[in-house]
Structure 1
């Protein structure tokens, strides 16, 4: 009897967090605050990330992966999608401003956002100008400071290689027309699969023991401080929001980006945030703890203490998820008709 009472007491204690709230109450609070989980079911995940206009198939994913890692889609033949959105580094490049063609830094000093979980964004690009990944994929390939490849050059490169032509036919049918849009659409199918469920999702799906007491305390603080005002839903970001509403962003002069026509900026996802420094649209902050404090002052009008920032960061690290296992592809062989690299 004594052993049973002791065990029951420990179980009861473990269900109550350090801040006096039961785990189930915290879960309910999180859901009521607009936070949602990546589903557990593979079928439900497919429904979440698929596009009926460009449905996911295994063959499209494999072809899209090759194109994602293909440097010959760039004018120089050196830069691939993975250059700025490195899947081995949290889906980013780890520098403040993206570096592109002819070693050119982004002229607006814009930071490369992560490609992981980008399918969960409501819009793409920092100014939200693309509604989905298929449209977004066309932009960087053609942009002068990025991959700098005209669409005609991209199509000529791809269709000059028998390996790609055969794989497009195998994927889309013998009568497929390989144009620039189809190439970008295929890359987007691969990108749609790059989601990273985490222990946070396990908690939100009902596994109350998946987060530590410290992480739960940080989650509670994250909600109470008002961070969920912008970082909510499944993506914990990805919508257009006003920036620096309560105070001036101290790195506002780093680059000239001011947002969209209404001065709205896409809120970055917090998933895998510990892997995606530097932070903000212009990569002005390298410390996650400092980023939390900056957000408190600029967005919420709050002075977040070092201790509170530390606790929130503890929660944020629980958003680091499991990455899809990706084997680096062997790319098709160029032919004598493949347009040569152009460094100019």
Structure 2
């Protein structure tokens, strides 16, 4: 994926959507104004600018299984593009068949998050990138050994050199993390039906989905699931059925952080099942009912659950373009 490929559709979409703005009048303007459309790109940190070379390298590394100790697990193993860039199983299966403690979050739109992982232990994508490589339950790879493996391939020497041209020895852990983060910042899903609705296409979503939008606001779901990525990136206490996970407490050891988890994005939630931190909730309808009970103290009736579910289905955006790389 090139920078040009990202930017040009933004300009075209902006022109078209501006033209359509005036046509959207269905009496729900006060509700629409509570939401934000998803930008095509998240904020880009000053120390990790997006370049075509860095994105291409990050793409290769994302699919590279030889940076795992077994040589068969890559980032894409658990973040499968065909499965909403997640894995659609309750909890991830990693090195030697070990099962992790938590459900795999999608990497889609992850650059918009205020922190990474369910417990927020990484501040950004750069801080997140190396964690799974070293985690014993995931890729279980010593980082120096991973770098040594990459050094052994002439193509990686070439690609790291192109991405970091002013460095004598560019195959470093920092550059590995930055390349992975750069690639992940291109994995965004703008132009969902709801985005088109916000931009003025009155027919982009159904009447039931509009009813769901109203219910989403009136019942208070928007208090935590807000902003363009439908998350406040804050930590809230919840004990979903079957979970004993202490959440953010594992990071801070603050009593007040027990059972607190970062609010997950609702973007593409219809294709990133199962749900909750333990992945024990199989359907979106179940998830809506549980959140009503646990977070809002409400027992939603079937019509409300159906309406909110219809609304959430409109948050599935256009999947990012990428190439499955030819690895050395």
User: TM (normalized to structure 2)?
Assistant: 0.86
Counterpart CA distance in 2 for 1:169 and 1:230 is 43
Offset at residue 179 of structure 1 (A): 0.7
Counterpart CA distance in 2 for 1:243 and 1:235 is 20
| Match runs of 1:90-239 below 5 Å | 90-106=84-100, 109-173=101-165, 175-176=167-168, 177-197=170-190, 198-237=192-231, 239=233
- Structure 1's consecutive aligned runs of 4 or more residues displaced over 4 angstroms after TM superposition are none
Counterpart CA distance in 2 for 1:49 and 1:140 is 23
The partner residue of 1:72 within 66, 72, 80 is 66
Counterpart CA distance in 2 for 1:184 and 1:100 is 20
Counterpart CA distance in 2 for 1:78 and 1:49 is 33
**Deviation digits for residues 152-184 of structure 1 (CA, Å, limit 9, x no counterpart):** 011101111000001111221163431112111
Offset at residue 211 of structure 1 (A): 1.7
Counterpart CA distance in 1 for 2:72 and 2:246 is 27
Counterpart CA distance in 1 for 2:129 and 2:94 is 15
Do 1:110 and 1:282's aligned partners in 2 also have CA atoms closer than 8 Å? Answer: yes
Offset at residue 216 of structure 1 (A): 1.2
Counterpart CA distance in 1 for 2:166 and 2:236 is 48
The partner residue of 1:315 within 308, 311, 315 is 311
**Deviation digits for residues 80-100 of structure 1 (CA, Å, limit 9, x no counterpart):** 000111111101111111111
Counterpart CA distance in 1 for 2:148 and 2:300 is 54
Are the structure 2 counterparts of residues 59 and 28 from structure 1 closer, same or farther at C-alpha, using a change threshold of 3 Å? farther
Offset at residue 238 of structure 1 (A): 5.5
Offset at residue 258 of structure 1 (A): 3.2
Counterpart CA distance in 1 for 2:37 and 2:305 is 23
Counterpart CA distance in 1 for 2:278 and 2:154 is 41
- Larger Cα-atom Rg: 1
**Counterpart residue number, 1:4:** none
* 1:331 maps onto 2:327 in alignment: yes
Where in structure 1 are there 5+ consecutive unaligned residues? Answer: 1-13, 16-21, 40-44, 333-344
Counterpart CA distance in 2 for 1:49 and 1:27 is 28
Offset at residue 241 of structure 1 (A): 2.5
Are the structure 2 counterparts of residues 98 and 257 from structure 1 closer, same or farther at C-alpha, using a change threshold of 3 Å? farther
Offset at residue 139 of structure 1 (A): 0.5
**Counterpart residue number, 1:258:** 247
The partner residue of 1:277 within 266, 269, 273 is 273
Are the structure 2 counterparts of residues 238 and 153 from structure 1 closer, same or farther at C-alpha, using a change threshold of 3 Å? farther
SS for the counterpart of 2:28 is helix
Where in structure 2 are there 5+ consecutive unaligned residues? Answer: 1-22
- Greater Cα shift, 259-268 or 80-89: 259-268
Counterpart CA distance in 1 for 2:287 and 2:44 is 32
SS for the counterpart of 1:88 is helix
RMSD (Å), alpha carbons: 1.7
SS for the counterpart of 1:319 is coil
Offset at residue 210 of structure 1 (A): 1.8
Offset at residue 50 of structure 1 (A): 2.0
Offset at residue 120 of structure 1 (A): 1.0
Do 2:118 and 2:247's aligned partners in 1 also have CA atoms closer than 8 Å? Answer: no
**Deviation digits for residues 107-151 of structure 1 (CA, Å, limit 9, x no counterpart):** xx2010000011111110111111110110010010000001111
